[in-house]
Structure 1
Amino acid sequence: MPIFSKDWRDPGDKWVKTDGGWEKEKVVCCTPLTDVVVRLNVTDAQESMEAEELGLLSRRGSRGELMVPQPYCRIYTRNTKEVAGFNGLGETLKKLDFINAVHDIRRFRYICKLMDLLITQKLSTLSGGAQKMLFGMLEEVAYEVTSSQQNVHVLQHLLQELRKRLEDYLWGNKLGSAILWEQHSRRLQDIHAIATTIKIQQPGDDMHPTLQEVPEECIREILKRLDNHNDIRAAGEAYSLMAKVSEEKSIWRLLCRFHWTPAQIEHVILMHKELQVQKNWRKVYDRLRRTYGLREEYAEKLCLCRNCSCMFWETYGHPCRNDTDPSATIEDHLEEVKSDSIIYISITPQQFLKYFHL
């Protein structure tokens, strides 16, 4: 009997060609949600009521359309006798809908950090599909920065690092198809063209209050909510009052306590006598940063369920559903999602890459 896959009980996968390349043929089965989706079209009142119930099992796209099921992906965390543990990065990024997730302000920083790791550390080991997904994500980042006029420095950093790596590979160290790398070069030029058109629109003279009119107490509260030294120093260059507030001891003391524990702070101070004589919190911060590194904070992370090895975005909730009982109602599925037996952990961008053979 011919073997079509690593699991002899599986007849094998059927692949179809699409505009984005070859993809596995998928059979969509949303039986438990079919009746609910039909009922959503009856009246506007019923739509608003059912939308709350579907919050954990569905999501809405950027144009407001209902999209089911939510993006998630099964991850092989260990090998078995029948299935070898292997996860494809390109397919995982597609299933988790990273390209559309770029436009969510809560996930933007997480995705950009992951892209930075892929570009600077893993670019030569990526498959062709993963490379295409990376460039697609970068293009969406360019469009998002253009529309929001925020995080321009993040886009410039990613473009600079990617251009540097591509130049190295194109000088004889490239892997894979030469045609594919030429496509990457052309696409990078297109993204760079988008980035050069970004112009920060200044507020008009009739816009009040201006930054200079904001009271000092408000400026201090704003700076207290910044989580890294680069943002505080850049804010201090805006104008004289903000420069004065950015030098205050309380700002840097709070920043130290945000990133490190009291034990770590005390250890660094005891190790350096000059900090004991005059406790300059800005110098304490620089010492701590070089010793322990910065704590990374994200508004939203990916999560991994320990029970079913399912990876999903935190705000969408756990996507697991019991499809064995066709008579189960939406309330039963929601109750299963909220079950205390489901234990999941947050995944940082560095931990995310460890699940792939890169």
Structure 2
Amino acid sequence: MPIFSKDWRDPGDKWVKTDDGGWEKEKDACGGSLTDMVVNLSDEENQENVDPDALSLITRRGSRGEIMAPQPYCRIYTRNTKEVAGFNGLGETLKKLDFINAVRDNRRFRYICKLLDLLITQKLSTLSGGAQKMLFGMLEEVAHEVTRSQQNVHLLQHLLQELKKRLEDYLWGSKLGSTILWEQHTQRLKGIDAIATTIQIQQPGDDMHPTLQEVPEECIREILKRLDNHRDIQSAGQAYSVMAKVSEEKTIWRQLCRFHWTPAQIEHVIQVHKELQVQKNWQQIYNRLRRTYGLREEYAEKLCLCRNCSCLFWQSYGHPCRTDTDQNAQMEEQIEEVKSDIIYIAITPQEFLKYFHL
């Protein structure tokens, strides 16, 4: 059976080492770099001879027309068959979706932290070397972001504690995989831990007004109503006496119950547990519902999956469909007829990992 391959005179691809220790192509098959391609396409002379649709596939443009970095996206195989099993690489997908730089985006921070939590607590022993490098790179970026923003210190501490615990559980005796790779992981973990230990929350100065104690009780109540879990409410109640009093109000816990669960679920739990019918303690109802149904996960921004082209992309960037003109026209007609959330499916971190057979 004949084997078709590239011409031996082809200059080939040039591979360079990246900052995270991986390798990527610097040049295309014709010997030209992607940077040169973007610069050439930005010239007015070349833009006259280039299809506008082709230009949009390579680069994104800002509000003033300046050329921006390529939009992060990744096509995946959504069919769970033997023929395509293992075709989706987690490490490569995380790199194409630019997860490391996405940590700096406030809207995606909690989504990425949840994904890291799942990888560390459930999938660490099944990750490839490339995926492990991406995990440590994302965790390091989370540490830098927490240091810069002075927020979400508890999330970073939780991830580090779980990672140290899993490394001790999984890697007793000789480590699985490359010894050099695990030495690099150990050094990176020590560096991340050093960053976490030096984080100090800066207290506002005496000249900063209004202080938390000066905020009216009505505003404190509105702040607590916007918290989406019991841990934050209980932690806020430890700040000072007014917050402690407001955090015990039944309206706070009733609204929290209605945010996470449907009226039918709330009524079912009340009917099953007779003691809750006598005295409607909404904090107890919340705890019963949490143990029965779990908490609803809410993120400012999620990954989206297009049903038309099986492309993963961040919701705020918009859809980077790579299909031809006829299919694009058909897709625009579909979007006009149905709602966009039917074409684009929001993907939770748990659903995201299912595409990689982990």
**What's the Cα RMSD here?**
3.3
Question: Equivalent pairs: percent with the same residue?
Answer: 79
2:60 corresponds, among 58, 61, 65, to: 58
Tell me the matched-pair count: 326
Shift, 1:66, TM fit: 4.4
Q: Secondary structure at the match of 1:345?
A: strand
The equivalent residue for 1:149 is 150
The equivalent residue for 2:138 is 137
The equivalent residue for 2:51 is none
The yes-or-no answer on 1:201 pairing with 2:202 is: yes
Shift, 1:337, TM fit: 11
Relative to structure 1, the CA distance from residue 357 to residue 23 in structure 2 (aligned partners, 3 Å threshold; closer, same or farther) is farther
The yes-or-no answer on 1:314 pairing with 2:315 is: yes
Asked if 2 retains the 8 angstrom alpha-carbon contact of 1:99 and 1:140, the reply is yes
CA distance in 2, matches of 1:295, 1:267: 17
State which drifts further: 294-303 or 170-179.
170-179
The equivalent residue for 2:17 is 18
Asked if 2 retains the 8 angstrom alpha-carbon contact of 1:76 and 1:85, the reply is no
Shift, 1:29, TM fit: 7.7
Relative to structure 1, the CA distance from residue 38 to residue 168 in structure 2 (aligned partners, 3 Å threshold; closer, same or farther) is same
Asked if 2 retains the 8 angstrom alpha-carbon contact of 1:114 and 1:349, the reply is yes
Shift, 1:25, TM fit: 6.3
More RCO (CA 8 Å, sep 6+): 1
Asked if 1 retains the 8 angstrom alpha-carbon contact of 2:220 and 2:243, the reply is yes
Relative to structure 1, the CA distance from residue 352 to residue 322 in structure 2 (aligned partners, 3 Å threshold; closer, same or farther) is closer
CA distance in 2, matches of 1:18, 1:205: 49
Asked if 1 retains the 8 angstrom alpha-carbon contact of 2:301 and 2:314, the reply is yes
Cα deviations across residues 84-103 of structure 1 (Å, max 9, x unaligned)?
66200000000000000000
Asked if 1 retains the 8 angstrom alpha-carbon contact of 2:309 and 2:323, the reply is no
The yes-or-no answer on 1:75 pairing with 2:86 is: no
Q: Secondary structure at the match of 2:108?
A: helix
The yes-or-no answer on 1:167 pairing with 2:168 is: yes
The equivalent residue for 1:350 is 350
In structure 2, what residue type is equivalent to 1:348?
T
In structure 2, what residue type is equivalent to 1:164?
K
The equivalent residue for 1:212 is 213
Asked if 2 retains the 8 angstrom alpha-carbon contact of 1:107 and 1:301, the reply is yes
Asked if 1 retains the 8 angstrom alpha-carbon contact of 2:303 and 2:313, the reply is yes
The equivalent residue for 1:177 is 178
CA distance in 2, matches of 1:155, 1:76: 32
Shift, 1:37, TM fit: 4.3
The equivalent residue for 1:254 is 255
CA distance in 1, matches of 2:79, 2:39: 34
The yes-or-no answer on 1:91 pairing with 2:118 is: no
Q: Secondary structure at the match of 2:191?
A: helix
In the alignment, structure 2 segments of 5+ residues that lack a partner are: 45-55
Asked if 2 retains the 8 angstrom alpha-carbon contact of 1:58 and 1:316, the reply is no
The equivalent residue for 1:191 is 192
